[in-house]
Amino acid sequence: MNVAAELRAWLAQEHDDAPNSDASARESNTVAERLLALTRALRPRRAEVAGCIVLHHPSGMPFAAACEDRVLVRADDVPAALTAQPVDGLSGWVAVDPWPPDITFARGAEVLRDALTRAFARASSSHDKLGNTAVGPALVATEEVAENPSMRDCDDGSSRVSPRHVRDEGGQPRA
């Protein structure tokens, strides 16, 4: 997949303050709407760059983007179950289908949501290509959400991570 140079530059760096643009004023984009729905519980910040919606951890580190008909995410967070395409000129990022097919014992949407949750958690504590440490509390979804059906928020029983199950580094519920 080929993306604009402006988007490649934006995804390759940490931003001091995570932007938070209003994506509702833009033209309808089903891929962006899908990405925002899958990450709603994480409360990411949003920016529009080169016609794509980019999601950031509050520390300023980008972790996903909706571009054209694909979701871009860091390759380290994508399981083999999601068919990933490399992004030309953007090492470490891949493009995946926003509506992945269901696989044995798992819904495709759950697999993608889990990958996005891992990317968000990694963005809170990882280093970018420049070696800058992302600042801010590291938010991680607890393992118990995936293992305990009573902790799921959706009526259909899907494993969307609820904000009440996102914990800080000390294991305390995030306010």
User: How big is the CA angle at 115 (ends 123 and 168), to the nearest 5 degrees?
Assistant: 45
Q: What is the mean pLDDT of each run of 10 residues along the chain (175 residues)?
A: 89 69 65 94 90 88 93 92 92 94 87 94 64 36 40 44 50 56
Q: What are phi and psi of 68, to 5 degrees?
A: 55, -120
pLDDT of amino acid 168: 55
pLDDT of amino acid 22: 60
Q: From CA 18, how far away is CA 83, in angstroms rounded?
A: 29
- pLDDT tens-digit readout, 114-154: 999 999 999 887 544 434 433 333 333 433 344 444 444 44
Q: Which is it for the CA torsion 48, 128, 139, 18, positive or negative?
A: negative
Decide: pTM greater than 0.75. Answer: no
pLDDT of amino acid 131: 41
Cβ neighbours around 35 below 10 Å, total: 29
* Residues of the chain by 3-state class (helix, strand, coil), percent to 5: 30, 20, 45
Which residue type does 131 have?
A: G
pLDDT of amino acid 68: 92
pLDDT of amino acid 124: 81
